Structure 1
Amino acid sequence: MQSFLEEVIDDLYGQQRNITAYIYVLPSKRAGTFLRNAISKKLGKTIISPDIYSIEEFIEKISGLSYASQTQQIFELYDSYLKAGPEEKEPFDSYLNWAQTLLQDFNEIDRYLIDASDLFSGLSAIQEVNHWSLKSEKTTLMENYLHFWQNLNSIYEHFNNNLLNKQLGHQGLVYRKAVENIDSYVKDEKQKHVFLGFNALNTAESKIIQTILATGESHIYWDIDPYFLNDKIHDAGLFIRKHKATWHHFASNDIEGISNHYLSSKNIEIIGVPKNIAQAKYVGSLLTKLQEEKPESLKNTAIVLGDESLLNPLINSLPATIPSINITMGQKLALSGLASFFDSFLDLHLTKTSKGWFYKDFISFLSHSNTGLLLNHVGVETNKLITSINLKNWTYIKDTHLDILFSNNEKIRSIFFDPYQNPKQLIDRCHYLIEKFKDEFIATSNKIELEHLYKFHKLFNQIEELTTQYHFLTTLKGFHNLYKQLLSSETMDFQGDPLEGLQVMGMLESRNIDFETIILTSVNEGILPSGKSNNSFIPFDLKIEYGLPTYKEKDAVYTYHFYRLLQRAKNIYLLYNTEPDVLEGGEKSRLITQLLTDENRTDIVEKIAAPKITVIPTEKQQISKTPDLVQLINDYTQKGFSPSSLSNYIRNPIDFYKQNLMNIAETNSVEEHVAANTFGTIIHDTLEELYTPFIGTELNVENLQNAKNQIKGLVKINFEKTYLDGNITSGKNLIAHNVIIKYIENFIDAEIKELKTQNIKIVALEQKLKVELHIPGIEQPVILKGKLDRIDIANGVTRIIDFKTGKVERRNVEITDWKALIDDYGYSKAFQLLCYSYMFLKTHTDTSELNAAIICLKNLKSGLLQFAQKESSRSKKNILINHETITLFEEQLFLLIKEICNADIPFIEKDV
């Protein structure tokens, strides 16, 4: 395959031209390397390279100006904005939200040589007509809004003049200046030029090229196939057809560079792949296949990323066996760990409120790996800090909390958390952190992070220099917005050989370069082409009127690049995302549809690729009882089973193993809102304190009414004891606080109502019980222990009462089958009531029978949910628990404990 650049050099050489005497101008710098290689191969000897420029470098040379950096432009533009008119101006941080859009418009106005004053006059008139208020009297806001549009021309002129005074220019200004200088350039230089591979040219480029072509022996070669050029409606040839029709050069000269390659036989595969990551994985598998079949073909293969955010997943998906890879795209610095650290560090100051830092934001910063790196260096363990916050239940971290957390590290505390006076202080802190990171990365020989760090060092230096020169960057929000804008354009460039190995590039880097095998990703609508995005203050109709490009022209540019890639390639793989997603592109691109409907293309194969999904059978976890585990179980039997631990086993033996035997507790975390267990603890503690004075006496209405008056104070005390430093003054916690008070008030009201029909005597509260069991088959005695919420006597009947704050239904405490007690967790409440009854009757031999019930505070209307035994669902209930009941229960209890202690029965996971 002969590339476009090789064809151009062959044509010049065939005309007996001195190919080293030309100045070559290309759309991009990257193609210059390939052009030098083509000249070198053609001549076959060592020569002094001719001058090769990208179009931007060439125009910069003609203009005599240098390109101002994007940051310089942002600051200069704001300075011009402040000086345009007396009306109130937006602060710098707000200005940053629209600065790039205005810069882009200024660029286009100058690149297309538009009369700016005329365009801005029209734009101002449109805004006046479109104004949202129909009232004749305008507010200050409305006046300022309209003044902005009226002053756009003065902002534009002041901005351009400021840059010119410094011998600088934004891209459009450099282009406009080059047009002004082009006649003198042509007169002075008198050199021959060759322009290669251009397509869409702005007005300035068009005038410059036409002027050079009109004087002297210069050429322009278009990389186009007649198939597109002769089709009057095909977007791939749109711009070149316009140039051919409007340029005087083509009145007497033919178009050079036309080559018939597109209709040659090709292998084209269109592959739909679900989601972006899968595309990267598919490219990896495709490369593996190509390497196995034709390893030499990889030297002439390019992966072109339609969506450049796929670079990172692609790098991780490339086969390790590929000998050499050249990546021409830069890896975004914003994706590095240091970027997220500095972003989190700046966010920490932005998110601080009068209450302090919200614990999630604070812990997120502490949990960052780079924060941990710095803290560990000064002997602070981030895990201990996070544990302290969780244990103390700090929903908001205040300055007083910092005194506790960083009592021995005042320096690191001040660097991270002290309030700032101005952005300069924050920049100084960032420089300090960079120095600390530098020491750490040098010590660990982390060269990649050192490269990243150098980029951040330059970035903060750049901001510092501009804040010194301009004094309007005064807020943290403005500093943070500027930092993010600068960071978004920073990349880490890869080093490689552009002429060797597999090439990875973006769409624009592929201009003028040809490969036999092309793998193009993300060929989706909204990506290729990008669609109707209009990042401009200039309305669509006004753009049409003044000849400025719209999304239609941008779509035509993408169409040209797409088909140009296909022209000379022999093997083409077009990948698109099959899953419609607003962020990642919609359906497959119209370019694919256009390709599929082309009657002249019969060599296209469509595929849908999906990852192989292997069904992995889920095996239930099983833990065998080793001698060590048996010993652990025996030790636990001596400490004692509780009703809740046995219920835990019934629910899931694995949970019993982890939580009760191994003491693997859930991770502590801040209770932002009152958790269910905390809610229950507060209610239990409050009820205990309210009823303790009544132990041994009969309840009466007067005492209970007095107890109601104590509820709010006791609830508050118990909140402070259980919920620690958690905030209960607002939000869901305040609601929970009031709900607890209401629950307890409702319960006491229900007790008062019950006293009308019953005499109730409190026997005990929170009574701890323990019994020793001698179970056949188990050598050592087994302890059963528990704590009864309340024991009382109602109309002569002893009752065991268990308080529950969660949902309990009557069916949970009524049984028809004794075996279900140890098989079905749905009867866990009945099981616990029987455990309490069993322990009470075993330790209180003077009592022969009793009742056991749950009081559900969430639904007091249900009344006492009493344990009951019945033959069937419709038979009469027996609520009495006596020695006969206990004997039946004991049989099931012993079976359950024997199963737990049996070394031959493993712990087997249950479906929960």
Structure 2
Amino acid sequence: MLFKKKLLVFPTSRSIRNFISTQKSSNTLLPFTLTIDELFKKSINLNNMKYCEEEQRVLFLSEAIKNTNIQKLGISDNFTKFLKQSDYIYRFFLELASEKVEIKDIQNVDTYDFYLEHLQILETIKTNYINILEKNSYVDRINLDNHYKINENFLKKFEEIELHFEGYFTKVEFEIVEKISKFINVKINFYSNTYNQRSLEVFKNMNIDLKIDFNYKIDLTNKLVLQEEKNKKNLQSLEIKGFSSRLNQIAYIKDSIVKSVQKGVNPSRIALVLPDETFASYIQLFDTEKYFNYAMGKTIKNTNLYQVAYAIYSYLSEDDIKHISNLDFLKLDKNFIDKNIKPIWNKRATKESFEFISEFIKSKESSVELLEKYEELLYKLNIIVFSNDNVILLKDVYKIFLQKLVKLTLDDVNSGKITVLGLLETRAVEFDTVIICDFNESFIPKISVKDKFLSTKLKQLSNLPTQFDRESLQKYYYKRLIDSSKNVFVTYVNSDTNQISRFANELFDKYIKTDTNDNAYKHILYDNHKIKHIEEEIIAKIDLSMFTWSATSFKTYLQCKRKFYLQYILKLKEHSISLKPKAYELGDIIHSILEDFYTLDENSTELSFEKIESLFNKYKSTNPFLILDLEIWKKKLYEFYLLDKQRLKHRKIIALEKSFSCEFEGIKIKGVIDRIDSFEDSYEVIDYKTSSTLSVDTLKNYEKTDDFQLEFYYLAMSEMYKTDKIEAYYYDLSNTQLINEIALDKKLELLCEKFNELKEISKNEIYFSKCEDKNNCTYCPYIIICNRE
């Protein structure tokens, strides 16, 4: 005869582990343990039917909605969008099936037929879906009640079952438990408080009178109360603090941990509860002490696999500099993506084309655990997308893939002692210290998608769980957690857009202050000390006479020798991944448009303004900061077009963007001339300027100049065309006027002096000093290095 044992049933795997850890000191055989979900699966048979998995369910639902006007439910029949929205329908059907309520029952109580059309559509979809399940020999929780039988062979292994009940039994679930109790003795342990009375109505229907704030053990088989004990509150201390931002809560969380440990609390008996589990990714960023282990697993967002997958999607969705730079940062070959993935991105997806991309992404990851989960995801996704004749673009398949990929998590092993978990993971688990963050209206109560189709009143009339019932259940979980803990720390965001949850006044018997506490704790996260800059002098032996100068580099040198050293000697690059355009970006686009405009046709007098407008479309930007500027410049260039059209009746453009390299006073200079016109027997060299505050040197102030751009152009022209018949102009595009460089001769003499100074100072060490005029520092990228903020 087999030895029979007691079976203990808990809400979660964590509660099982918690129970086992409390038995380590006992010298006894442990009972069998299962979660409630495992009990339901093992204690029933499905009569040779197969259980429908999520991937198959989505396909069956997408088939069930065909020939229905599903758009009237606010749900798209587009396959890609339906993949995300199908959960709304399924959860609604699941709630009905779990509570044994038919749609016709809802129609009967919908006196004014407010929901008649919606309910008729849902009835059709449900009928179609169940027929598809039955036809393919599948069982889902929607039709489970019609097919299951109690698995007596499994139950015979035990002498009794003791179930730790936390939460809510649906009608179908409780019927299964009742049927089990007819084969084997079943005892149920539960905790009663003011918030879970609806959950306990099943016991009241057995004529078992229950009191509020008691622990009970009930013999379900014999309908007897075996134990009734008044709830004991363990709470010794409670703190509630408000902060102006979510991140600043982390400082308080760390402080609460330190306080608890100093009180003698074992770190493994401390829990951080997250109403919004996505906040775990922020906790990880600041977990420098390695305090935490994450019950929900660690996000894969920082892995190569996800970074590569996201970078490809971002680049193919928007060909922007920041996305291109990200490809380069991740060492992804842009040419490979352009050649192999871009051409098929907007075409119908095939299994082969998607496999090609997924294999490329896979090749960038080395984690065995992640790759196993990745392969499983791909397998399931292939079932969803490619088992039917779905006409879907590759980019849409990829979007679905990315949505599912980001939900993958890695098991958190060998981490800290303090557990980070969601609210449902706290069921039937007790801690000495509990820290609850984000106690805000936006997260507590958590909104359910089950309430999408019907009003609360109609649900109440139909005997379905209402929003009020769900909120009460959440209050029950929080109250159960708080009452069983010794120390509770609660934190919330207090700002113009965030307020503490309305649950707070019910759950905490304490006056809640609405002040913020950021300053008291921010030193824990942030180092408030001022950056210590190295103020040492920079002196180097560099022969600047051997340098090849552009007008820009020479201007930088004259304005600030320190900036010149950092930019041109050390070659420190400015951070470039930013939505906000650099000062030169707009000018570069206008220069490119004018270059393209005048190279379209040799006979520039016949060029039309429509060609300029078309070129603006070519250089159209998705950058919101540039869109308006380009539209303004499109109008400004019309005035330029009219003026230049008149000028070119007597002139001819002979060069655009002309590169040059020559010498002056034994020093090499280089650059690119925007435009050269010929006029009679002379030449006109032109530099386009887009600045609205163009300042040109005069004979009175030229001695203080640092701008020798037109002088560089003049010297290059003299070398190229062996002539001195040259006029130099700035083309002020903002104000539509040509401005002559009237101090040209004087500035050439000054440039000669400056170059001779370069040769002279290069004989010794050069002191690269900071500029005296701090106005030059305002937009300088090296302002922090130089401590000129």
TM-score bucket (shorter structure) = 0.7 to 0.9
Deviation at 1:70, TM superposition (A): 1.5
Q: Does 1:219 align with 2:131?
A: no
Q: Determine if contact 2:42/2:151 at 8 Å carries over to the other structure.
A: no
Q: Does 1:74 align with 2:58?
A: yes
Q: Does 1:272 align with 2:209?
A: no
Between the aligned partners of 2:406 and 2:112, the Cα distance in structure 1 is 35
Q: Does 1:743 align with 2:627?
A: no
Among candidates 519, 538, 552, match of residue 454 of structure 2: 538
Q: Does 1:304 align with 2:212?
A: no
- Structure having the larger proportion of residues in helix: 1
Q: Determine if contact 1:269/1:606 at 8 Å carries over to the other structure.
A: no
| Residues 870-909 of structure 1: pairs in structure 2 closer than 5 A | 903-908=765-770
Among candidates 375, 378, 385, match of residue 460 of structure 1: 378
Q: Unmatched 5+ residue regions in structure 1?
A: 1-18, 130-145, 230-235, 352-356, 373-381, 390-396, 403-412, 691-705, 774-780, 823-827, 868-879
Residues 487-508 of structure 1 show CA distances to partners (whole Å, capped at 9, x for unaligned) of 46544334579xx943332211
Provide the TM-score with structure 2 as the length reference: 0.73
Deviation at 1:53, TM superposition (A): 3.4
Between the aligned partners of 1:769 and 1:119, the Cα distance in structure 2 is 85
Q: Does 1:92 align with 2:79?
A: yes
Between the aligned partners of 1:851 and 1:577, the Cα distance in structure 2 is 66
Q: Determine if contact 2:661/2:716 at 8 Å carries over to the other structure.
A: yes
| Residues 471-550 of structure 1: pairs in structure 2 closer than 5 A | 471-472=389-390, 476=394, 479-480=397-398, 483=401, 486-487=404-405, 490-495=408-413, 501-531=417-447, 536-550=452-466
Deviation at 1:657, TM superposition (A): 3.5
Deviation at 1:626, TM superposition (A): 1.4
Q: Counterpart in 2 of 1:329?
A: 296
Between the aligned partners of 1:742 and 1:478, the Cα distance in structure 2 is 45
Q: Does 1:102 align with 2:102?
A: no
Summarize the Cα distance change of 1:97–1:364 in structure 2 as closer, same or farther, 3 Å threshold: farther
Between the aligned partners of 1:605 and 1:689, the Cα distance in structure 2 is 66
Q: Does 1:614 align with 2:528?
A: yes
Between the aligned partners of 2:231 and 2:70, the Cα distance in structure 1 is 62
Q: Counterpart in 1 of 2:503?
A: 591
Alignment-mate amino acid for residue 272 of structure 1: G
| Residues 165-564 of structure 1: pairs in structure 2 closer than 5 A | 168-174=138-144, 192-208=160-176, 218-224=186-192, 228-229=193-194, 236-239=195-198, 246-250=205-209, 256=227, 258-262=229-233, 264=234, 266-280=236-250, 282-284=252-254, 286-287=256-257, 290-291=260-261, 293=262, 297-318=266-287, 320=289, 327-332=294-299, 336-342=303-309, 358=319, 363=324, 366-367=327-328, 369=330, 372=332, 382=333, 385=335, 402=339, 413=340, 422-429=349-356, 432-433=359-360, 437=363, 446=366, 449-465=367-383, 470-472=388-390, 476=394, 479-480=397-398, 483=401, 486-487=404-405, 490-495=408-413, 501-531=417-447, 536-564=452-480
Summarize the Cα distance change of 1:218–1:419 in structure 2 as closer, same or farther, 3 Å threshold: closer
Q: Determine if contact 2:243/2:249 at 8 Å carries over to the other structure.
A: yes
Q: Determine if contact 1:120/1:152 at 8 Å carries over to the other structure.
A: no
Deviates more, 1:550-559 or 1:798-807: 798-807
Q: Secondary structure at the match of 1:575?
A: strand
Among candidates 487, 499, 503, match of residue 571 of structure 1: 487
Between the aligned partners of 2:594 and 2:67, the Cα distance in structure 1 is 66
Summarize the Cα distance change of 1:835–1:97 in structure 2 as closer, same or farther, 3 Å threshold: closer
Summarize the Cα distance change of 1:496–1:800 in structure 2 as closer, same or farther, 3 Å threshold: closer
Q: Determine if contact 2:539/2:768 at 8 Å carries over to the other structure.
A: yes
Between the aligned partners of 1:362 and 1:771, the Cα distance in structure 2 is 41
Deviation at 1:101, TM superposition (A): 0.7
Q: Secondary structure at the match of 1:504?
A: strand
Between the aligned partners of 1:333 and 1:864, the Cα distance in structure 2 is 59
Q: Counterpart in 2 of 1:64?
A: 45
Among candidates 672, 676, 688, match of residue 587 of structure 2: 676
Between the aligned partners of 1:791 and 1:469, the Cα distance in structure 2 is 66
Between the aligned partners of 1:113 and 1:817, the Cα distance in structure 2 is 91
Provide the TM-score with structure 1 as the length reference: 0.64
Between the aligned partners of 2:515 and 2:600, the Cα distance in structure 1 is 79
Between the aligned partners of 1:97 and 1:256, the Cα distance in structure 2 is 47
Summarize the Cα distance change of 1:900–1:658 in structure 2 as closer, same or farther, 3 Å threshold: farther
Q: Does 1:45 align with 2:4?
A: no
Deviates more, 1:516-525 or 1:153-162: 153-162
Alignment-mate amino acid for residue 95 of structure 1: F
Between the aligned partners of 2:200 and 2:770, the Cα distance in structure 1 is 76
| Residues 110-189 of structure 1: pairs in structure 2 closer than 5 A | 110-119=97-106, 126=113, 150-163=120-133, 168-174=138-144
Alignment-mate amino acid for residue 125 of structure 2: I
Between the aligned partners of 1:107 and 1:318, the Cα distance in structure 2 is 40
Q: Determine if contact 2:273/2:420 at 8 Å carries over to the other structure.
A: yes
Q: Determine if contact 1:728/1:737 at 8 Å carries over to the other structure.
A: no
Q: Secondary structure at the match of 1:813?
A: coil
Q: Secondary structure at the match of 2:705?
A: helix
Between the aligned partners of 1:469 and 1:842, the Cα distance in structure 2 is 72
Summarize the Cα distance change of 1:882–1:34 in structure 2 as closer, same or farther, 3 Å threshold: closer
Between the aligned partners of 1:477 and 1:839, the Cα distance in structure 2 is 51
Alignment-mate amino acid for residue 906 of structure 1: F
* Identity across the alignment (%): 15
Q: Unmatched 5+ residue regions in structure 2?
A: 211-222, 780-789
Between the aligned partners of 1:767 and 1:886, the Cα distance in structure 2 is 20
Higher Cα radius of gyration: 1
Between the aligned partners of 2:456 and 2:14, the Cα distance in structure 1 is 33
Q: Determine if contact 2:6/2:158 at 8 Å carries over to the other structure.
A: no
Deviation at 1:104, TM superposition (A): 0.3
Between the aligned partners of 1:810 and 1:680, the Cα distance in structure 2 is 16
Q: Counterpart in 2 of 1:625?
A: 539
Between the aligned partners of 1:737 and 1:803, the Cα distance in structure 2 is 19
Deviation at 1:653, TM superposition (A): 3.1
Q: Determine if contact 1:514/1:568 at 8 Å carries over to the other structure.
A: yes
The root-mean-square deviation of aligned C-alpha atoms, in Å, is: 5.9
Q: Determine if contact 1:92/1:478 at 8 Å carries over to the other structure.
A: no
Residues 700-750 of structure 1 show CA distances to partners (whole Å, capped at 9, x for unaligned) of xxxxxx97525569x99xx9xxx9xx9469998999899768635413526
Between the aligned partners of 2:145 and 2:600, the Cα distance in structure 1 is 84
Between the aligned partners of 2:672 and 2:359, the Cα distance in structure 1 is 57
Residues 241-262 of structure 1 show CA distances to partners (whole Å, capped at 9, x for unaligned) of 7567555232896695654433
Q: Counterpart in 1 of 2:697?
A: 813
Between the aligned partners of 1:819 and 1:461, the Cα distance in structure 2 is 74
Q: Does 1:649 align with 2:557?
A: yes
Deviation at 1:433, TM superposition (A): 4.2
Alignment length (residue pairs): 736
Q: Determine if contact 1:423/1:479 at 8 Å carries over to the other structure.
A: no
Q: Secondary structure at the match of 2:453?
A: coil
Among candidates 7, 25, 35, match of residue 54 of structure 1: 35
Between the aligned partners of 1:241 and 1:418, the Cα distance in structure 2 is 55
Q: Determine if contact 1:284/1:314 at 8 Å carries over to the other structure.
A: no
